[in-house]
Amino acid sequence: MTSRALELAQKRGRLQERIAQQRALIAAQMAPVASALATADRTLAIGRAGIAFVKRNPLQVGVAFAVMAILRPRRMWRWGRRAFLAWGLWRKLRDKLHVVGLVADRPS
């Protein structure tokens, strides 16, 4: 090999080593973010499973709400107000995200 080829091979080796170190550093720094995202993914999966359950079993869910309304009407009113407030906040947030462009389309 020529001296130029040897220089290029050494330079390439140093660059690859530096790249490997940078990748390891980024992976270490991203560990907390990955943990937080994994928690968010699990939470979303639980929420989607709950929604799927309600869609599959609307009668059972309705009966459960009716029983709770009969046994604990005050609690049902309290949770109903909270749910209505959360729904309103979600709509406002979704509208603001739509204006900023973070949500593709706004359902009517």
pLDDT (tens digit, 9 = 90+) per residue, 1-54? 788 999 999 999 999 999 999 999 999 999 999 888 999 999 999 999 999 999
* Residue 33, token pair as written in the block: 């973010």
Burial of 59 (0-12, 13-18, 19+ CB in 10 A): exposed
State yes or no: pLDDT of 108 exceeds 70.
no
Q: pTM higher than 0.75, yes or no?
A: no
CA 106 to mean position of chain CA atoms: 19
Has residue 69 got a pLDDT over 60? yes
Q: At which residue do the structure tokens 């509208």 appear?
A: 95
